[in-house]
Structure 1
């Protein structure tokens, strides 16, 4: 699995503000959206294109356009929704599917409670969006889902990762038989005893949308 940890001052700046416990939800959502757009630039580096003729005001030339079938963007609910618009900004013609997954706080494994994906993903480049790569359970399960339906390539985009999560996802990616890559804004020190990233930024879903009792 290819792992790209973004190294850019704008990304580091936005990530620092996201970490701050004083950052309110509207600001958190806006910065997460901006950060994902920056990450999407790297995530789409290997997107498949095809040559097309172009007539400029001066002469004829050759350009490129995204090749079919269209990419599929898959936010992992609920926190992944906060990354969707930033990804669509660079891939406005992509289709969108959804996977609803929740971490079992006792086993730290991912439970799937909803999915809205095409039955056949043959030839598709799929982009999985998950803000926090902690234990890696949710992302690994999503990758198996996509590969099982025929995805040709899978790229995961995350805001933060822990070394344990990267290690777990790398091991699972080797079982899929398709190219997998990970683009992340930063890799933190470790997981704590509750499976949360340290120093991290807290629960991304709660910070994006608040808590609902």
Structure 2
């Protein structure tokens, strides 16, 4: 299932990110802001329970988070900026990292790092990667999570921007994983970049080219 967050604030900030004139500092800040807004939607279905407490006025039952604890897993390196923003919203969440890069010739994902919470199987997992282009890296990351015990129904992939080709790969490989994104763009070009896109998210976040 794909959820596109069409909130005006998300769409406005995404447009600013697309602009080639947007500098590193502003781009990084915008990426964090959009990630935080995406997280509100991605976590809409978190379980709640009632807890009894006393306000300065009266004692009553009030909602608190319950159910599975949370984990944020960043696909390195660009996913870091998303996780760093979202962890401010859910500071008790554990954070994992999966290092993957896309071979420039074959476009296939190459793994180089994997560090996950030991109890990942018992947590709701939110995977962060700004761009879902070919889908290869995201699919490989999700496979690593499942191999570590995470259940597909407990995994949400959060991407600022997606391409239909990448969505198709995730739906084929992991039909039980939900995707939350700010936009689904037109297609991929011959170099595997999203069109119209916003360029290479990692390079624009970190100022490397």
**Normalised-by-shorter TM-score class:** over 0.9
Structure 1 residues without counterparts, runs of 5 or longer: none
Farther-moved stretch of structure 1 (150-159 vs 200-209): 150-159
SS in 2 for 1:90: coil
2:77 aligned partner? 78
Q: Give me the whole-angstrom Cα distance separating, in 2, the residues matched to 1:93 and 1:119.
A: 15
Secondary structure, counterpart of 1:74 in structure 2: strand
**In structure 2, the residue corresponding to 1:89 is in which secondary structure?**
coil
Match of 1:65 in 2: 64
SS for the counterpart of 2:197 is coil
Counterpart for residue 165 of structure 2? 164
CA–CA distance in structure 2, aligned partners of residues 116 and 49 of structure 1: 29
The equivalent of 2:140 in structure 1 is 141
Structure 1 vs Structure 2 CA RMSD: 1.4
Match of 2:89 in 1: 90
CA contact (8 A) 1:51 1:64 kept: yes
Partner of 2:149: 150
Contact 1:41 1:90 in 2 (8 A): no
Instruction: Count how many residue pairs are aligned between Structure 1 and Structure 2.
Output: 207
**Moved beyond 6 Å, runs of 4+:** none
TM-score using structure 1 length:
0.92
CA distance in 2, matches of 1:122, 1:36: 24
Residue 6 of structure 1 is matched in structure 2 by 5
1:185 and 2:182 are equivalent in the alignment: yes
Partner-residue secondary structure (3-state), 2:121: coil
* Distance of 1:89 and 1:49 partners within structure 2: 20
Asked whether the equivalents of residues 94 and 117 of structure 2 are also in contact (C-alpha less than 8 Å), the reply is: no
- Contact conserved, 1:120 with 1:149, CA < 8 A, in 2? no
Q: Counterpart of 1:21 in 2: which secondary structure?
A: coil
CA deviations over 1:174-195 (Å, ceiling 9, x no partner) = 3xxxx42111011100000111
TM score, norm. by length of structure 2 = 0.94
Check whether the contact 1:162–1:197 (CA below 8 A) recurs between aligned residues: yes
Q: 2:31 matched to which residue of 1?
A: 32
